[in-house]
Structures are given as C-alpha cells and as structure tokens.
Amino acid sequence: MPASRTSDERLLSGLGLDRLPHGEARRIRRIDDEMARAFEVLRDVGPAVSFFGASRTPRRHPDYELARSIAAAVGRAGFAVITGGGPGLMEAANRGARDVGAPSVGLQIALPHPQRANRYVDVQVRFDHFFVRKLMFVRYASAFVALPGGLGTLDELFEALTLLETGKIHHFPVILAGSVFWKGLTEWVHERLVLERTISTRSVRLLHVLDDPDDIAAVVTRHHERRAATAHRSSGPRRA
C-alpha cells in the first residue's frame, strides 16, 4: 500500500486493496478513538463560531483583514473561534480571536502535503478523517461564517445548509462574509434553484450576507441568546 494514501482514501476506496483480517473493526476503533479524543479536548470550549475560508489568501489581502476583524468582533461578544487551523483566512480568524483574548481553536486535517498549524491557535486537534473533523465544526458552533474560499468552504457551507434544512441540527446563522465574492452564488441560488423549485425559499432564508463585523457579531449574539432562552424554558419544571 503506498504510504501516501490517507485514512479517508483507505476508508473510501472501493478496490479493497487494504483488506486485512479484522481490518474494518480496527478502523472503526480508530475512528471512535479520534472522536473521543476530540470531544475530550474541546469539551470546555463553550459557545463558538466556526470560520471557513481560503488557505491561500495572503496576509495583506483585504479578506485577511475582514476575517481577522470578524473573529475579533465575535470574540469580544463572548464566542470562541474555530477554524481549520491552517494558513490564509483560517490564520486570520485565529489571529482575530487572539487579538481579543478569545479561545482560538484549530481543527487540522492530515493531508498528503503536511500543513502546520498557524501560530495563533491555542487549542489544536488533528484529524485523520474529514467527516470526524466536520462533525466537530458543527457540534460546537453557534454560527458559521463562510469567508471567500474554495471547495472546502463550499463543502462546509452546503453541508451546514443541508443539515439545517432537514432538521438534523438546530437552526443557527450561516453567514456569507464578503458580499462581492458571494454575489454570483447568491444570484444563481435565487435565479436558478429557487425559480426552478429545486429548493424552497425557506432554504434561502437560512443565509445572511453581511460585511460588517459588528453586524455579524450582533446576529450571532441575538440568535445564541434566543436559543439559550428557549432551552431554559423547555428544561424548566413541568406542571403535574
């Protein structure tokens, strides 16, 4: 078996090239251990906002400053910041959290080309499997902020919307930060998907397109407070 094959590749391969006696049971145990380790490390993180965005954005780019400012704003509002822990806009968001003393979390994935955690990560978890990592992004999130990015950002964005629309998770804000970048996507969603009735208008309302860091922090805070109040009422004493 080539050493360059990743855990996800071995898991998803249909060729059966690495089938060994009891191999699947061992793989399940490794996945279980990976989840348990992540839950243990992240258990005290508290309410958080998960950030997604391009890893290739340079530090002098306006999007880098946007990500840093948004993360600082939500950090001041009392939220931890969770990113993929890498460079580019992930670094910018972790840096914004560090600027204001908010918890700064990096969830790194093992890739064929090694990638170091950025220096602004305070709490780091490394994953072998993408789907375990994606679980953690959702599990601790009070909101998602999608910054300009590529396939990984789009993957996380549409998976979050699918989970919300199907009721698999409680509603939380999904924010597209950088309206100019997202303009083509939002127009396509309205002009193609909604008009051709491949999605409902309710799905579109799950998205917030915002540029101002303080506005984003306010949306996240309002929703978190409403959800906390609802949870408090539902857990209160019941009448006999």
- Tell me if 86 is assigned to some domain: yes
Report the C-alpha dihedral over residues 225, 231, 234, 237, rounded to 10 degrees: -90
Query: What is the pLDDT confidence band of residue 230, given thresholds at 50, 70 and 90?
Result: confident
Range of the domain at 102: 7-13+20-234
As a whole-number percent, the residues of the chain with pLDDT over 70 amount to 86
- Tell me if 30 is assigned to some domain: yes
Would you give the distance in Å from CA 29 to the centre of its chain?
A: 25
Query: What is the pLDDT confidence band of residue 26, given thresholds at 50, 70 and 90?
Result: confident
In this predicted structure, what is the pLDDT of residue 2?
45
How many of the other CB atoms lie within 10 Å of CB of 138?
17
Number of structural domains (the chain) is: 1
- Tell me if 239 is assigned to some domain: no
Query: What is the pLDDT confidence band of residue 10, given thresholds at 50, 70 and 90?
Result: low
- Tell me if 173 is assigned to some domain: yes
Residue 235 has pLDDT above 70, yes or no: no
Residue 145 has pLDDT above 90, yes or no: yes
- Tell me if 203 is assigned to some domain: yes
The three-state (H, E, C) secondary structure of the chain, written as one string: CCCCCCHHHHHHCCCCCCCCCCHHHHHHHHHHHHHHHHHHHHCCCCCEEEEECCCCCCCCCHHHHHHHHHHHHHHHCCCEEEECCCCCHHHHHHHHHHHCCCCEEEEEECCCCCCCCCCCCCEEEEECCHHHHHHHHHHCEEEEEECCCCHHHHHHHHHHHHHHHCCCCCCCCEEEECHHHHHHHHHHHHHHHHCCCCCCHHHHCCEEEECCHHHHHHHHHHHHHHHHHHHHHHCCCCCC
Query: What is the pLDDT confidence band of residue 150, given thresholds at 50, 70 and 90?
Result: very high
CATH of the domain at 145: 3.40.50.450
Give pLDDT tens digits for 176-206.
Answer: 999 999 999 999 998 998 899 988 887 788 8
- Tell me if 1 is assigned to some domain: no
CA 15 – CA 8 distance, rounded (Å): 14
- Tell me if 72 is assigned to some domain: yes
- Tell me if 2 is assigned to some domain: no
Count of residues making up the chain:
240
Lowest mean pLDDT among 108-112, 113-117, 215-219: 113-117
Give pLDDT tens digits for 27-83.
Answer: 888 999 999 999 999 999 989 999 999 999 999 999 999 999 999 999 999 999 999
Angle in degrees, CA 139, 90, 84, rounded to 5: 40
Query: What is the pLDDT confidence band of residue 4, given thresholds at 50, 70 and 90?
Result: low
CA 201 – CA 56 distance, rounded (Å): 33
In this predicted structure, what is the pLDDT of residue 12?
62
